[in-house]
Amino acid sequence: MSLVNFGSINLDFVYRVQALVRPGETVQSLSLERFAGGKGFNQSLALARAGAEVRHVGSVGEDGRWLVEMLATEGVDIRNVEVVETPTGHAIIQVSARGENSILVHAGANRELSGSQLERACVDLGDGDWVLLQNETNAPEFVLAEASKRGFRVILNPSPLDSSLLDLPLDRVDTFLVNEVEGEALAGEADPDRVLGAMRKRFPAADIVLTRGEQGAAFSGRDGTSAYAGAESVEVIDTTGAGDTFAGFYLAALLSGANPQSALVAGCRAAAHCVSRPGAAPSIPRVSDL
């Protein structure tokens, strides 16, 4: 089986700061670096580095051709990535001395996926292929509609979560990958310890994976099964891309036949490696690193 990722491709501008900028405050950055990024890009990269067969569906501007070439070099199938006139999406990322981050995203070309491009990508899906969605492109509405017609499996990482996503037919999602903030918004439950249970009640037909940073990750299956894996203890340098790394390694493990417990462990181990290094894409490990 392979996974088809309808995902964003971004340029990440990472500013090192002593502390995250507060409203009305102006500060000098300590440094600036440019990285490849975007949740979709990071997750495709993580999937490929974890050994999965992955095809990416997305759009970039002329300034983003090198990002597409990077995906291809990593073994990602890029047949459904198009170059458009709109500039490539980008993110402005602050990273504090404590490793915390604050991210502002501009969609750019990520919102320019054409209907014909999306249709071709869905037609190309084979029996048993999985589909991965985030909310940084204009693909979720189309793909969720096609999922009900064609019956393919949809995994949703609802980030960034806004009203446009909440209005979609989320009952067509087979697996939710959420952090505590996203889980709270979807479940309507403010207590982190009760988010998973509340999501289980709202989406009884879906598998749910909840990541909780230093507290690890938990799984609740539609069949009543559950699993948990603790986070590994490391020195945190930069948390950017940790969730995407977890998603890639978790899904790659499932695709290879692992059970949810083993997949959670793989995701947490890869995420721990990620946060111990700077940047998003550069910090995503390979299987040999683990």
Instruction: Decide if 98 is inside a domain.
Output: no
Reply yes or no on whether the pLDDT at 245 is more than 90.
Answer: yes
Q: What is the CATH number of the domain that holds 119?
A: 3.40.1190.20
Q: Which two tokens stand for residue 112?
A: 């320019």
**204 by DSSP, 3-state: which?**
coil
Spatial CB neighbours of 37, under 8 Å, sequence gap ≥ 6: 10, 11, 12, 91, 93, 240, 241, 280, 281
Mean pLDDT over 272-276 rounds to 92
H/E element holding 198?
Answer: helix 195-202
Averaged pLDDT of the chain: 93
- Number of residues that this document lists for the chain: 290
Instruction: Enter the tokens of residue 267.
Output: 């995701």
Kindly tell me if the per-residue pLDDT of 119 is higher than 90: yes
pLDDT at 219: 97
Residue 290 confidence (pLDDT) above 90 = no
Q: Is residue 282 part of a domain?
A: yes
Using DSSP's 3-state secondary structure scheme, residue 239 falls into coil
pLDDT tier at 1 (50, 70, 90 boundaries)?
confident
Backbone angles phi, psi at 264, to 5 degrees: -60, -45
Inter-CA distances, 193 with 3, 196, 211, 243, Å? 31, 7, 12, 19
**Residue 274 located in a structural domain:** yes
**Per-residue model confidence as pLDDT tens digits over 178-204:** 999 999 999 988 887 899 999 999 999
Share of the chain above pLDDT 70, in %: 100
Token reading at 49:
């580095």
Consecutive H or E run containing 265: helix 260-275
Q: How many helices (H) and strands (E) does the chain have?
A: 9, 13
Mean pLDDT score, 80-101:
93
Q: Is residue 155 part of a domain?
A: yes
* Overall number of domains in the chain: 1
pLDDT in tens, 125-171: 888 899 999 999 999 999 999 987 888 899 999 998 888 888 999 99
Residue 29 forms part of a structural domain: no
Domain containing 244 equals: 3-10+37-88+108-289
Helices marked H in 36-179: 39-49, 65-73, 115-123, 140-150, 163-166
- The pTM for the full model equals 0.91
pLDDT of residue 238: 81
At 267 the pLDDT is: 97
Residue 220 lies in a domain: yes
Using pLDDT thresholds of 50, 70 and 90, give the confidence band for residue 217: very high
Would 168 be classed as within a structural domain?
yes
Residue 26's pLDDT is: 95
Q: Is 244 a catalytic residue?
A: yes
206-210, 217-221, 238-242, 259-263: the lowest-pLDDT one: 238-242
Alpha carbon of 26 to those of 19, 21, 127: distances in Å? 11, 7, 53
d(C-alpha 239, C-alpha 201), whole Å = 30
Catalytic residue among 77, 171, 244, 289: 244
The answer to whether residue 112 is domain-embedded is yes
User: Is residue 253's pLDDT more than 90?
Assistant: yes
